[in-house]
Amino acid sequence: MKYNKHIAYYHQHASKLASQYTSVAFEDVHGEWLSHIPSPTHTTILDIGAGAGRDAKALANMGNHVTAIEPASALMQSGMAFTGESVTWIKDTLPLLTSQKKQHYGLILISAVWMHLTHVQQQQSLQRCSQLLFAEGHLVITLRHGEFDDERVANPVNVSDTIEFAKSCGLTLMHKIASSDKLHRQGVSWQTLIFTK
């Protein structure tokens, strides 16, 4: 499975990637969508593909209870060191998220993960996230457009399909935001989709 090969890449290059991710401020990457939803404070948040913990730490510092999901062991270790005890870390993967039994969240963030999922896994992930959201909760997905310049391969990301899949899972699109790549990588751009249940 391609996704497992990607997990291995993040595990093997954890130190380099952690430095890269934390070199950009949370507000610079996510500030635009934050302004489109009610202030995400004092709620439960699930950060899927939490990487080095930049986003999880910032959200926890806002007063939230944050659970970080990361499948790459070494990257998760970096994240745990970066966030300290302010974030709960769990090793798990989309689309099943088997660690999440009866938990529900006010906000789910999936940042820089979607292109690692196959078309079917994307559908399954939307269904699973819908199950995990409280009513009127928010799902935020960042979509990467552009190829990698290493051994990682980006699966096709289709905005219209993602919105339709989400709709079939009871998720309504609130906002769609286009943005540039904050690491200034050539040929890379992003879109953020904000859904509510």
Residue 42: DSSP 8-state: S
Rounded Cα distance between 106 and 108, Å, is 7
Residue 1 binned pLDDT confidence (cut-offs 50, 70, 90): very low
Residues 94 and 132 sit within 8 Å (Cβ to Cβ): no
Question: Over the stretch 17-53, which tens digit does the pLDDT of each residue have?
Answer: 999 899 999 999 999 998 888 776 789 999 999 999 9
pTM of the model: 0.94
Written as six digits, the tokens of 160 are 């219209």
Q: Token pair of 151, please?
A: 């051994």
Q: List, for residues 112-125, the tens digit of each pLDDT value.
A: 999 999 999 999 99
Query: What does DSSP say about strands 172-180 and 87-90: parallel, antiparallel, or unpaired?
Result: unpaired
